[in-house]
Structures are given as C-alpha cells and as structure tokens.
Structure 1
C-alpha cells in the first residue's frame, strides 16, 4: 500500500465526518487538517504548473 492510498482513504474519511458529534476543539482540529491539505494541494498545483510551463517552453523553441 502506498502513501497515496492512505491519503485517499484519509480524504474520504474526512468527507464522512459527523459534525454533530464533534466538539469545538475537534472541529477546529478538523479545519486545521483541511487547511494543511489545501496547502498541500496548492503546492502540487504550483509544481505541476511549473513543469507544464517548462515543457511548453521546451517545445516552443
């Protein structure tokens, strides 16, 4: 099993959270975890854009 599998399973479990049973602290932790995932996704987008732009520049010349 890869870390990608773990991350996919983690993301799926986050979507299935029952907010009614969570305390304020748990909800704040949940938001912090989501913020971390958002930052990770934005970082990946930036890396992919850089690679895409580099490839486009290579084939353009």
Structure 2
C-alpha cells in the first residue's frame, strides 16, 4: 500500500491501457491496432533499458575483472 492510497487528495490513477490476458473480443480493429502500437513502443522502451543495464554490467565486469 502506497502513501497515495491513504491520501484522499491524491490524483486518481489511470487504469492501464492494456492488461496481459484481458479479453479482446469487444475491441474494434482500430483499438487493437492502437494497443499493438502501444505495446511495441513499450517493448522498445524495455529493450533500451535492458541495453543500458547490459552495458553497466559489462563495465562493472571489466572493472572488477580478476588480475591474472
């Protein structure tokens, strides 16, 4: 439970555009296309974050490489 849950003046949280596994039967083709684009953008954001973490890990591994 976050602090916002106890704050009656906190702004309302917007529900996510898409939840994994949610029913798709009632969505139009346009709504499906919009969700696909939003999910592709999120995948790109996740891949970028992963690349940054991999670069950080590689830098740390090079720095802490045991002397032989």
- TM-score band by shorter chain is 0.7 to 0.9
In 1, distance between residues paired with 2:16 and 2:61?
A: 34
Using the size of structure 2 for normalisation, the TM-score is: 0.67
Using the size of structure 1 for normalisation, the TM-score is: 0.74
Q: Which residue of 2 aligns with 1:35?
A: 40
Deviations 1:13-45 (A, max 9, x none): 521432100000000001001001100110011
Residue from 4, 7, 10 that aligns with 2:16: 10
**How many residues are treated as equivalent by the alignment?**
54
Corresponding position: 1:20 with 2:25: yes
Q: Which runs of 4+ in 1 moved over 3 A?
A: none
* Structure 1: 5+ residue stretches without partners: none
* Structure 2: 5+ residue stretches without partners: 3-12
